[in-house]
Amino acid sequence: MSEKLFIVDFHNHHLPAGFEPTTAHSLSGSAKARWEAINRDLADEALLLADIEAGDVDARIVNAPGALIAEPDGSLPFDVYRRLNDRLAEVVARHPGKLYGLASVDAYSGEKGAEEVRRAIRELGHRGIFVDSARGELFIDAPEARPTLTAAADLGVPVFVHPVNPQPLTRLLAPYGRIGTLFARGTTNAAALIALVEGGVFAQLPRLQVVVTELAFGGLALAGAFHHEGLAPGGLLETLRRHVLIDTMGFNPVTIRAAVDLLGADRVVAGSDWPIVSTGEVRDRLDQVLEAAGLNAAAKRAIAGQTALRLIGVV
């Protein structure tokens, strides 16, 4: 009989009470109905806990993305980020040991972003930060984002670099449905990964730890195949191994195994993108894909929860 894994889902979203989602405003038909249903789930605190109470996962690391309530151009007043983090901290505090928070930060706001990182970690008790891969024509290696990343590195907390909808790529791929949208979002997440290495961010911030989604796997695969083309002083792939973790969002044993081979088993974390991409059971799927990936017991434990808990400073 296989060991029951302690599962910490790193990739979860929640919209606390008092905020109005904007994600369905410009949609129609089935897309609008889908996002209206997702928005109801995002706002349901009891639903956030349901899988934990049922034993499907043991804990969730949760964020409240500003993108859920932003204007179409992605803009959001800075004080709204502060209120999001305040409310999320209250939700997490009601469920100790079950929920851990990542503060949403406008990484492209210069020193203001760094100030919010310090406040969210030191005063609110969040365990890391959540930022967008890009903003307009800026990637996460932009000078505007450096204060936020520096603050996170100084505090020793992880940065979850999340996909966004880039234009015009999102518009051009819209006719191809959800897979087109996912590809557009994954492109920015992968590009952010490369920008952090080749833009010198990791060289400047040796303590910085970044988590990307499985949508960024293309960037990881490219780095593995063409690492000799990289400009990073320590080597492209070697730099990624020191600084980057990737989640299991698609629950695909092939990409999980490849990520383990490229980065190491201690650089992959269970993550489902609940409740947007994944709303099904996690435990059975994770057990199956980790077994199919040919991983040993130690690697399974690391991916399921040990690495995530270490990353956020719980163990």
Residue 54 confidence (pLDDT): 96
Q: How many angstroms separate the CA atoms of 297 and 137, rounded? A: 43
The mean pLDDT of the chain is: 94
- What range defines the domain where residue 123 resides? 8-311
Phi, psi of 9 (to 5 degrees): -85, 115
3-state secondary structure of 1: coil
Residue 110 confidence (pLDDT): 97
Confidence class for position 218, pLDDT limits 50, 70, 90: very high
Structural domains in the chain (count): 1
pTM for the structure as a whole: 0.95
Q: Which residues contact 129 (CB under 8 A, 6 or more apart)?
A: 102, 103, 104, 105, 117, 120, 121, 148, 152, 157, 158, 159, 160
Radius of gyration of the chain (CA): 18
High-pLDDT (> 90) share of the chain, %: 82
**Under 8 Å between Cβ of 195 and 141:** yes
Residue 24 confidence (pLDDT): 81
What's the sign of the alpha-carbon dihedral 252, 6, 299, 307? positive
Token look-up 């997702």 returns: 38
Q: How many angstroms separate the CA atoms of 65 and 105, rounded? A: 9
Inform me whether the pLDDT recorded for 254 exceeds 90.
yes
Residue 83: which of 19, 4, 1 has the closest Cα?
A: 19
Q: How far is CA 147 from the centre of its chain?
A: 19
**Does residue 274 belong to any structural domain of this protein?**
yes
Confidence class for position 26, pLDDT limits 50, 70, 90: confident
**Does residue 3 belong to any structural domain of this protein?**
no
**Does residue 50 belong to any structural domain of this protein?**
yes
**Range in 64-73, 81-90, 94-103, 288-297 with the lowest mean pLDDT:** 64-73
Q: Residue 162: give its domain's CATH number.
A: 3.20.20.140
**Does residue 102 belong to any structural domain of this protein?**
yes
Q: How far is CA 256 from the centre of its chain?
A: 16
**Does residue 2 belong to any structural domain of this protein?**
no
pLDDT in tens, 134-148: 998 999 999 999 999
Residue 229 confidence (pLDDT): 77
Neighbours of 31 (CB within 10 A): 15
**Under 8 Å between Cβ of 105 and 116:** yes
**Under 8 Å between Cβ of 293 and 256:** yes
Token look-up 């891969």 returns: 133
Omega before residue 168 within 30° of 0, cis: yes
**Does residue 1 belong to any structural domain of this protein?**
no
